[in-house]
């Protein structure tokens, strides 16, 4: 019996399992690790994944793509833009359905068939039946959508033990991989997918994650970049052959498929070829494009991504200065330009986790399913009742402190013990060296302030006559300074040079217990919540 984690996306689905403590992202029988979420019905045969996607050119009307977001949504509310060159969604009992070769299929049936394919691939790979699974969903999935998905999965023979949010899954995978789960940091998890982008500000505190804000866009993603490339190639084709590459659906699909491949290739190399036989009017198209050209072509999309993230941070009531780390997720995050443009938004101290910056990182497209697999194996030992109980509001809804709590160090600076947005009950301790025999510890709430440092531009000594005076650069940094004094503690007889432990503990009722300890000298105090 095995557990798997599934990241079910609009454009691709991937799944992973944990084997001997190692996360294994499973490939389907075709060798795909990012299985295209596509189904195609041609001549009574079902095609899945890349094979189905290939049918888009010849059998667009019997090929279903980008359907995940249609689960549990009334037909009237859907955006069918991304199904333009594939099977069109039709109304089916008020919900979404597809008419394939004259048969009407509900969205539930399509998803079921897709998940069944996934399940079979997983069981083939593992050689054993799947006991339970964890599936990731976007943070804006409604309860109805979630219920629908669980039901459909059950019909497909998959027992869903938990649905988890995509950003948390990705972050869990990332932090577990880096063993940084216990480092308190403020993350932006940016998931740039095929046809949509999602991002979230996540506070990681004591291994527990809290979403502070989320942002979604269904008009941003890899498809937009494909579109830019298609337009670019079409213009080029027009110029070369005086023919319209987008004239027919077929030619459009051909060019689209080629553009996608070219885009993916450019993530790894500087120059990529594009080649489409008989694109339009019998003309073959052959061209090459370098990364810089691509970045220029997709400039608009990249800047939209930046805006998207900036608006998210704003939504969280923060500045980009507050963000300590950015994790890039999703296939589109493979593009180096995405990481590079985002790096410009955040201060230099912010770490950006993207394959373009650290090639050792796992593929950003895998993060969601990795996280799901981790979660699936974590809860494998619990029964359904226990899992249900732990998802109750009484457990999940937790008080979070709003200002950091810390102490004043030797230079009068604020040293954080519990950062803001830490969920309690919590217990945390830090250690110091006593500088004298008697030590006074002052507990403060930290107050956010912006530190501005002016960096003089480097003086160029060469003869270039650059008349323009370079403006001095101002580096802004968020720092916390001691704010409200919460309490003072005197440790008498701490002995100079010895270790002093400072423990801050907040219990369920919000009562804060402060402890200072040096050897046998222990002082305790209590501070209440306003």
Which residue's CB is nearer to another protein, number 188 or number 486? 486
Please pick, from the candidates 53, 199, 338, 423, the single residue that binds another protein as defined by CB under 8 A. 423
Interface positions, 502-521, toward another protein (CB under 8 A): 505, 507-508, 510, 512, 514
Interface positions, 355-374, toward another protein (CB under 8 A): 371, 374
Which residue's CB is nearer to another protein, number 366 or number 421? 421
Please pick, from the candidates 395, 454, 455, 474, the single residue that binds another protein as defined by CB under 8 A. 395
Tokens matching residue 453? 């440092």
Which residue's CB is nearer to another protein, number 8 or number 302? 8
Which range touches another protein (CB under 8 A), out of 240-248, 269-277, 398-406, 456-464? 398-406
Which residue's CB is nearer to another protein, number 282 or number 381? 381
Please give the C-alpha separations between residue 267 and each of 344, 358, 399, in angstroms, as whole numbers. 19, 14, 43
Tell me the closest approach of the beta carbon of residue 312 to another protein, in angstroms.
16
Of 218, 173, 170, the C-alpha closest to 194 is 218
Interface positions, 434-463, toward another protein (CB under 8 A): 434-440, 445
Q: How many CB atoms lie within 10 A of CB 128?
A: 10
Tell me the closest approach of the beta carbon of residue 95 to another protein, in angstroms.
28
Beta bridge partner(s), residue 522 = 517
Interface positions, 30-89, toward another protein (CB under 8 A): none
Which residue's CB is nearer to another protein, number 334 or number 518? 518
**Residues 372 and 136: beta-carbon distance below 8 Å:** yes
CA atoms within 13 A on the CB side of 123: 15
Interface positions, 276-335, toward another protein (CB under 8 A): none
Which residue's CB is nearer to another protein, number 184 or number 226? 184
Query: Does 378 participate in binding another protein (rule CB under 8 A)?
Result: yes
Which residue's CB is nearer to another protein, number 107 or number 169? 169
Which residue's CB is nearer to another protein, number 239 or number 508? 508
Which range touches another protein (CB under 8 A), out of 151-159, 191-199, 302-310, 409-417? 409-417
Query: Does 216 participate in binding another protein (rule CB under 8 A)?
Result: no
Beta bridge partner(s), residue 388 = none
**Residues 134 and 161: beta-carbon distance below 8 Å:** yes
Query: Does 275 participate in binding another protein (rule CB under 8 A)?
Result: no
Of 525, 82, 173, the C-alpha closest to 366 is 173
Query: Does 209 participate in binding another protein (rule CB under 8 A)?
Result: yes
Tell me the closest approach of the beta carbon of residue 204 to another protein, in angstroms.
9
Annotate 245-307 with DSSP letters as a single string.
TTSSHHHHHHHHHHHHHHHHHHTTSSEEEEEEEEEETTEEEEEEEEHHHHHHHTHHHHHHHHH
Query: Does 524 participate in binding another protein (rule CB under 8 A)?
Result: yes
Q: How far apart are CA 4 and CA 371, in angstroms?
A: 10
3-state secondary structure of 242: coil
Please pick, from the candidates 336, 362, 519, 525, the single residue that binds another protein as defined by CB under 8 A. 525
Query: Does 528 participate in binding another protein (rule CB under 8 A)?
Result: yes
Please pick, from the candidates 285, 302, 424, 480, the single residue that binds another protein as defined by CB under 8 A. 424
Annotate 184-223 with DSSP letters as a single string.
-EEEEEEEE-SS-EEEEEEEEETTEEEEEEEEEESS-SHH
Question: With contacts defined by CB under 8 A, how many residues of the chain interact with another protein?
Answer: 86
Please pick, from the candidates 394, 454, 455, 474, the single residue that binds another protein as defined by CB under 8 A. 394
| HEC letters along 323-381 | CCEEEEECHHHHCHHHHHHHHHHCCCCCEEECCCCCCCCCCCCCHHHHHHHHHHHHCCC
Q: Is the dihedral of CA 18, 21, 22, 23 positive or negative?
A: positive
Q: How far apart are CA 201 and CA 322, in angstroms?
A: 11
- Beta strands of 20-129 (E only): which ranges? 22-26, 35-36, 38-42, 45-48, 63-65, 89-92, 95-100, 103-106
Tell me the closest approach of the beta carbon of residue 501 to another protein, in angstroms.
10
Tell me the closest approach of the beta carbon of residue 526 to another protein, in angstroms.
7
Which residue's CB is nearer to another protein, number 473 or number 526? 526
Which residue's CB is nearer to another protein, number 185 or number 293? 185
Query: Does 21 participate in binding another protein (rule CB under 8 A)?
Result: no
Interface positions, 145-204, toward another protein (CB under 8 A): 162, 164-165, 168-169, 172, 175-176, 181-182, 202
Query: Does 17 participate in binding another protein (rule CB under 8 A)?
Result: no
Q: How far apart are CA 338 and CA 329, in angstroms?
A: 11
Which residue's CB is nearer to another protein, number 203 or number 305? 203
**Residues 512 and 355: beta-carbon distance below 8 Å:** no
Which residue's CB is nearer to another protein, number 157 or number 425? 425
Which residue's CB is nearer to another protein, number 60 or number 167? 167
3-state secondary structure of 52: helix
Q: Tokens 């050209």 appear where?
A: 293
Which range touches another protein (CB under 8 A), out of 68-76, 239-247, 252-260, 389-397? 389-397
**Residues 428 and 511: beta-carbon distance below 8 Å:** no
Interface positions, 465-504, toward another protein (CB under 8 A): 484-492, 499-500
Tell me the closest approach of the beta carbon of residue 344 to another protein, in angstroms.
29
Query: Does 126 participate in binding another protein (rule CB under 8 A)?
Result: no
Radius of gyration for the chain, computed over Cα atoms and rounded to the nearest angstrom: 27
């Amino acid at each position: 019996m095995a557990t798997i984690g599934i990241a079910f996306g609009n454009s691709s689905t991937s799944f992973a399992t944990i084997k001997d403590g190692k996360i294994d992202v499973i490939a389907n029988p075709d060798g795909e690790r990012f299985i295209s979420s596509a189904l195609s019905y041609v001549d009574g045969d079902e095609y899945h994944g890349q094979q189905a996607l290939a049918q888009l050119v010849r059998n667009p009307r019997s090929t279903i793509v980008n359907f995940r977001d249609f689960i549990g949504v009334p037909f009237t509310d859907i955006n069918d833009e991304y199904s333009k060159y594939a099977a069109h969604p039709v109304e089916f009992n008020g919900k979404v359905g597809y008419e394939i070769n004259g048969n009407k299929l509900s969205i539930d049936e399509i998803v079921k068939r897709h998940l069944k394919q996934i399940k079979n691939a997983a069981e083939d790979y593992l050689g054993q039946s799947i006991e339970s699974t964890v599936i990731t969903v976007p943070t804006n999935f409604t309860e109805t959508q979630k219920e629908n998905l669980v039901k459909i999965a059950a019909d497909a023979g998959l027992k869903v033990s938990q649905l988890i949010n995509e950003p948390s899954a990705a972050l869990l995978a990332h932090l577990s991989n880096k063993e940084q789960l216990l480092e308190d940091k403020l993350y932006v998890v940016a998931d740039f997918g095929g046809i949509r982008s999602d991002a979230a500000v996540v506070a990681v505190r004591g291994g527990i994650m809290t979403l502070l804000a989320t942002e979604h866009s269904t008009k941003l993603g890899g498809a937009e970049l494909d579109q830019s490339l298609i337009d670019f190639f079409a213009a080029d084709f027009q110029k070369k052959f005086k023919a319209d590459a987008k004239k027919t659906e077929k030619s459009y699909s051909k060019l689209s498929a080629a553009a996608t491949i070219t885009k993916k290739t450019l993530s790894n190399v500087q120059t990529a070829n594009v080649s489409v036989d008989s694109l339009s009017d019998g003309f073959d198209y052959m061209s090459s494009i370098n990364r810089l050209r691509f970045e220029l072509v997709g400039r608009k999309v990249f800047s939209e991504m930046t805006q998207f993230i900036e608006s998210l941070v704003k939504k969280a009531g923060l500045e980009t200065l507050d963000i300590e780390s950015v994790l890039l997720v999703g296939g589109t995050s493979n593009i180096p330009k995405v990481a590079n443009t985002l790096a410009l938004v955040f201060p230099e101290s912010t770490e950006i986790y993207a394959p373009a910056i650290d090639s050792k990182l796992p593929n950003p497209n895998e993060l969601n399913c990795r996280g799901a697999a981790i979660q699936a194996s974590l809860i494998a030992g619990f029964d359904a009742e226990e899992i249900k109980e732990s998802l109750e509001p009484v457990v999940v809804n937790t008080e979070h402190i709003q200002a950091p709590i810390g102490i004043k160090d030797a230079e009068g600076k604020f040293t954080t013990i519990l950062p803001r947005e830490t969920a309690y009950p919590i217990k945390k301790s830090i250690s110091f060296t006593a500088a004298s025999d008697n030590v006074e510890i002052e507990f403060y709430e930290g107050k956010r302030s912006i530190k501005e440092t002016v960096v003089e531009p480097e003086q160029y000594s060469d003869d270039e006559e650059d008349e323009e005076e370079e403006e001095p650069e101002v580096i802004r940094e968020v720092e916390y300074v001691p704010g409200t004094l919460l309490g003072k503690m005197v440790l008498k007889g701490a002995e100079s040079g010895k270790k002093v432990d400072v423990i801050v503990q907040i219990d369920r009722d919000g009562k804060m217990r402060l402890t200072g300890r040096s050897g046998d000298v222990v002082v305790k105090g209590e501070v209440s919540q306003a």
